[in-house]
Chains A and B, each alone.
Chain A
């Protein structure tokens, strides 16, 4: 048996991408961004706050970190809940002690279930980023248009009912369909963080801004997936910060999962990392929205 002859045809072999979602651009040829205060590097801490229902629906897939054992998986349910009860406050304390405002990508179910947690985020002056409904609210290319629109509109409506209108969106596992960017725009989101293909924000063809939340630098990737220690994670972030600051005008995203990085035996290393990054003197810590505002003010190509 040989492969179908159509397998050797390439109808979208052309200049640029084989899709029209966004345009190609060499980051190193864009005008450099001057961050506020003349800082070389913008650091974007983005804490995720997640509610894992005890029963995964797997529609269309099971989110990273979700339940793993037969029902009832009290082990993982409570270990994840630790993040919302304990870990997130450790992280907020660490940032607030150093005068840093952060983004929190939060399932709307977390905000509804734990008003004290939402109040702590808002009272600290931090930014809310929409992060779907709960950890069953996953999207991918196999989801129907109606089901996907329902997740996004439901998230929007539930935030509105508690008086919030987040501008940014993070999909669970950064997983989208070909429709997601359009649906987000239709539901009032001006930026998303799902496509980790750049070190700077850029605009999709439909107008929405993508603020890349590099998955390679997330605590989940480094500590859970590659099984590195907290010290190794911190070393890797130190190395990334040094390189990016040297290039100037770059962004370093820090995706932080409270039940991972904020465990008692890891948080100390992370606090020491924050102290080193602050002591560099060339880093501007900011929320996602503030970074986009600064990039737009600097008239970056495509923004």
Chain B
């Protein structure tokens, strides 16, 4: 009798997990937390350059193909490579010119393959979080120990390359397991960029203490702008300014976060970097933005919501 009830309850919990990942509680935008950013700013703006490494001939993962064409997928591969030969410095120089530090979504194998790029980012005072080992290695179906191994590899690799400890995670090529958040908290990381449910930070409970979900963005990610929505460079720049203006306005009633996720192979193209640079000028000169790194935003948030 009792075991039957327990079995039914376990079944129910399993069904709930299949329908709702139970990551956070529902919280309406009306009456949201009255966050205020340093200096009384209504909006925190951060830039997340994805410094990625793609393998030309990666092993197959049963759940996802790395390249749509037989290897070598010349155009897709060399498009990504353009970011690491040409685009990175255009993107980084535009950011530095207007005082935007990067919070780097890093394929940590870039530390071995092209340490010059990682060193350039570190020299600019940028922060690093892990985006997996390669953008061609996916976490789907990994055991907890396998996922622990890529988290440990990430921490050790970035520490060896830069002397810094990573604090955050953006799952490799956005591939997750149900264990991901528990395991990154277990390893001592304190923020995730993987959840897109709101324009404010959120606390995510784990058995290993709370993580902060910081708003990253799919919708104003340059990848979505150019690959999904086929925006022209000037249309994308306009989308970023509209996103900024709206979130700055709404931030008066409770601080907001705007992230601009970038890929140097896209935004660093010669027809795109000029219009993008004008967006940075606009935000930097507007005065309402707290321009910060992800870790700074997480700290300012936690100081307001955790005793």
* Complex contact A226–B232 (CB within 8 A): yes
Q: How far is the CA of A16 from the CA of B117 in the complex (A)?
A: 12
* Complex contact B146–A3 (CB within 8 A): yes
Chain B residues positioned under 8 Å from A301 (CB to CB):
none
- Given A3-B142, A14-B113, A24-B84, the answer on whether A196 and B78 have CB atoms closer than 8 Å is yes
Q: Which of A80-88, A230-238, A265-273 contacts B (4 or more CB under 8 A)?
A: A230-238
* Complex contact A239–B146 (CB within 8 A): no
Contact among B113, B150, B231 for A13, CB-based, below 8 A: B113
* Complex contact B232–A232 (CB within 8 A): yes
Q: Which of B29-37, B216-224, B269-277, B297-305 contacts A (4 or more CB under 8 A)?
A: B269-277
Q: Does A197 contact B (CB under 8 A)?
A: yes
* Complex contact B112–A19 (CB within 8 A): no
**Which residues of chain A in 1-22 are interfacial with respect to chain B, using CB atoms and an 8 Å cutoff?**
1-3, 5-8, 10, 12-19
* Complex contact B274–A243 (CB within 8 A): yes
* Complex contact A24–B114 (CB within 8 A): yes
Interface size on A, residues (CB 8 A): 60
Residue of A nearest to B83 (CB): A197
Chain A residues positioned under 8 Å from B86 (CB to CB):
27-28, 197-199
Chain B residues positioned under 8 Å from A3 (CB to CB):
61-62, 140-143, 146
* Complex contact B233–A239 (CB within 8 A): yes
Q: Does B65 contact A (CB under 8 A)?
A: no
- Given A8-B146, A175-B69, the answer on whether A217 and B271 have CB atoms closer than 8 Å is yes
Q: Does B178 contact A (CB under 8 A)?
A: no
Q: Does A177 contact B (CB under 8 A)?
A: yes
- Contact string against B for A residues 187-199, beta-carbon threshold 8 Å, 1 for contact and 0 otherwise: 0000000111111
Give the one of B75, B114, B134 with max A CB within 10 A. B75
Q: Does B246 contact A (CB under 8 A)?
A: no
Q: Does B57 contact A (CB under 8 A)?
A: yes
Q: How far is the CA of A288 from the CA of B69 in the complex (A)?
A: 27
Q: Does A157 contact B (CB under 8 A)?
A: no
Q: Does A174 contact B (CB under 8 A)?
A: yes
- Contact string against B for A residues 178-205, beta-carbon threshold 8 Å, 1 for contact and 0 otherwise: 1000000000000000111111000000
Shortest CB-to-CB span from B94 to chain A, Å, is: 11
Chain B residues positioned under 8 Å from A236 (CB to CB):
232-233, 271
Contact among A1, A19, A141 for B141, CB-based, below 8 A: A1
- Contact string against A for B residues 121-151, beta-carbon threshold 8 Å, 1 for contact and 0 otherwise: 0000000000001100100111100100110
* Complex contact B85–A13 (CB within 8 A): no
* Complex contact B82–A10 (CB within 8 A): no
* Complex contact A15–B115 (CB within 8 A): yes
Q: How far is the CA of A240 from the CA of B115 in the complex (A)?
A: 28
Chain B residues positioned under 8 Å from A252 (CB to CB):
270
Q: Does B70 contact A (CB under 8 A)?
A: yes
Contact among A15, A173, A216 for B79, CB-based, below 8 A: A216
* Complex contact A196–B75 (CB within 8 A): yes
Q: Does A140 contact B (CB under 8 A)?
A: yes
* Complex contact B85–A25 (CB within 8 A): yes
Interface residues on B, range: 35 or more
- Contact string against B for A residues 148-162, beta-carbon threshold 8 Å, 1 for contact and 0 otherwise: 000000000000000
- Contact string against A for B residues 74-90, beta-carbon threshold 8 Å, 1 for contact and 0 otherwise: 11011101101110010
Q: Does B234 contact A (CB under 8 A)?
A: yes
Contact among A12, A26, A27 for B55, CB-based, below 8 A: A12
Q: Is the interface of A mostly helix, strand, loop or mixed?
A: loop
Residue of A nearest to B229 (CB): A226
Q: How far is the CA of A217 from the CA of B75 in the complex (A)?
A: 13
Chain B residues positioned under 8 Å from A215 (CB to CB):
75, 79
* Complex contact A196–B79 (CB within 8 A): yes
* Complex contact B133–A195 (CB within 8 A): no
Q: How far is the CA of A236 from the CA of B269 in the complex (A)?
A: 11
Chain A residues positioned under 8 Å from B231 (CB to CB):
226
Residue of A nearest to B71 (CB): A141
- Given A18-B57, A140-B69, the answer on whether A7 and B137 have CB atoms closer than 8 Å is yes
Residue of A nearest to B84 (CB): A24
Shortest CB-to-CB span from B277 to chain A, Å, is: 9
Q: Does B21 contact A (CB under 8 A)?
A: no
* Complex contact B146–A2 (CB within 8 A): yes
* Complex contact B113–A17 (CB within 8 A): yes
Give the one of B71, B75, B115, B271 with max A CB within 10 A. B271
* Complex contact A16–B113 (CB within 8 A): yes
* Complex contact A142–B112 (CB within 8 A): no
**Which residues of chain B in 229-245 are interfacial with respect to chain A, using CB atoms and an 8 Å cutoff?**
230-234
20 pairs across A/B with beta carbons < 8 Å? Answer: A3-B140, A3-B146, A6-B59, A8-B150, A10-B134, A18-B56, A27-B85, A27-B86, A28-B86, A141-B71, A141-B72, A173-B75, A175-B69, A199-B270, A212-B78, A215-B75, A239-B233, A239-B275, A240-B269, A240-B271
With A3-B142, A212-B78 given, name 18 new contacts (CB 8 A).
A3-B143, A8-B149, A10-B133, A17-B56, A18-B55, A19-B56, A173-B75, A178-B71, A195-B81, A197-B77, A197-B85, A198-B86, A217-B270, A217-B271, A236-B233, A243-B271, A243-B274, A250-B270
Interface residues of A (CB under 8 A from B): 1-3, 5-8, 10, 12-19, 24-28, 60-61, 140-142, 171, 173-178, 194-199, 212, 214-217, 225-228, 232, 235-237, 239-244, 250, 252
Listed from nearest, the 8 A-B pairs whose CB atoms lie closest are: A141-B70, A197-B78, A226-B230, A240-B271, A240-B270, A197-B81, A2-B143, A236-B271
